[in-house]
Amino acid sequence: MSDTYRRIALARRPDGAATTEDFSFETDPMPEPGDGEVLVEVQWMSLDPYMRGRMDDAKSYAAPVEIGGTMTAQGVGRVIASKAEGLVEGDIVTGMTGWASHAVLSGKEVRKLDEGTPPSAVLGVLGMPGFTGWRGLHEYGRPKSGETLVVGAATGPVGSMVGQLAKAMGLRTIAIAGGAEKCRIATETFGFDAAIDHRAHDDARALRKAIAEAAPDGVDIYWENVGGKLLEAVLPLMNVHGRIPLCGAVAWYSGDVSETNLLPMAWRSILTKRLSVNGFIIFDHWDHYPAFLKDVAPRVAGGEINYLEDVAEGLENAPGAFIEMLKGGNTGKQVVKL
């Protein structure tokens, strides 16, 4: 075993969009597991939009990453030393390893993968993003057959789960994605009824027109993970008693903000359409995770629910892949293979 390990730290807080200079590469002495802990050699690491929020110093639902601290991430890896009951060398586990080649974690904070599960799938379709889509759609979207759903970032791991679940329940599903290729994937791989390329529409008004054409009966559920221009486009199209599950606003994470004050328009839509807007953070919902796995794992194994991964190779490429992902440069769930 090497006597050092590699990790990626937050070098400084980004000013707007994150850049590679915001990260630093560190080599530190290999940590040793204490009582009840395991040392994990990381094989796969997840990159997710929420991590951009952790780079800021703003008060949020989770503490920000400290300057010099290791960037947060879920990972999958092999136990290479164990002082934790029930875990032995060679076990494949998942836990919050961070952006690092190795991590010491409490045995209680890791979970052994089920037999036959592809390791990277627990970071995406069967992990936090897939679970986010499943839980939020059922709890806050309250879908009904015949309704219309619009979802942004539709080829991402959350959006594609939402779209496929809704389609299976008899909804009309409309994907918003960046570029013709993603639109093709949205309809061909994920079965969306229509896909709209937001890049082909300069402003909210043009995007709204395209969505209105694809949603002749209006929009009952707007799955909100984007914010920005898409939100501005969709709000006036919402039907009475529509629902907006709100789990992200990636367009705003990097400060891309319209100069018009849109809050009065949003509030007016919520009032006059009697909308239900619910913010949620999947970390509040882990008690439903077993029910999610029970429902969705067989449907993934059976090919009813598809997923796509975008694999970056090597820890050193994590910052670049992360920055690209925030710009929509990836296709499917972004993971890093170490």
Contacting residues toward a copy of itself, per CB under 8 A: 59-61, 224, 227, 231, 240, 246-249, 252, 257-281, 284
CB of 268 to a copy of itself, least distance (A): 7
Residue whose CB is less far from a copy of itself, 54 or 182: 54
CB of 238 to a copy of itself, least distance (A): 10
Residue whose CB is less far from a copy of itself, 30 or 277: 277
Residue whose CB is less far from a copy of itself, 121 or 230: 230
Q: Output the CA–CA distances (angstroms, integers) from residue 261 to 95, 149, 226, 258, in the order listed.
A: 41, 26, 18, 8
CB of 90 to a copy of itself, least distance (A): 39
CB of 252 to a copy of itself, least distance (A): 5
CB of 286 to a copy of itself, least distance (A): 14
CB of 265 to a copy of itself, least distance (A): 8
CB of 114 to a copy of itself, least distance (A): 29
Instruction: Please give the helix or strand (H or E) that residue 266 lies within, else none.
Output: helix 263-272
Residue whose CB is less far from a copy of itself, 61 or 144: 61
Q: How far apart are CA 236 and CA 218, in angstroms?
A: 9
Residue whose CB is less far from a copy of itself, 25 or 252: 252
Q: Output the CA–CA distances (angstroms, integers) from residue 97 to 38, 42, 59, 70, 173, in the order listed.
A: 11, 7, 23, 9, 35
| 157-168 vs 128-136: helix crossing angle, rounded to 10 | 40
Dihedral class, residue 210 (left if φ above 0, else alpha if ψ from -120 to 50, else beta): alpha
Residue whose CB is less far from a copy of itself, 6 or 288: 288
Residue whose CB is less far from a copy of itself, 90 or 264: 264
Residue whose CB is less far from a copy of itself, 2 or 272: 272
Q: How far apart are CA 156 and CA 331, in angstroms?
A: 7
Long-range contacts of 322-331 (CB under 8 A, 24+ apart): 322/18, 322/47, 322/51, 323/17, 323/18, 323/19, 323/20, 325/47, 325/49, 326/17, 326/18, 326/49, 326/52, 326/250, 326/253, 326/254, 327/17, 328/153, 328/178, 328/179, 331/155, 331/181, 331/182, 331/185
CB of 141 to a copy of itself, least distance (A): 14
Q: How far apart are CA 227 and CA 251, in angstroms?
A: 6
Q: How far apart are CA 225 and CA 230, in angstroms?
A: 10
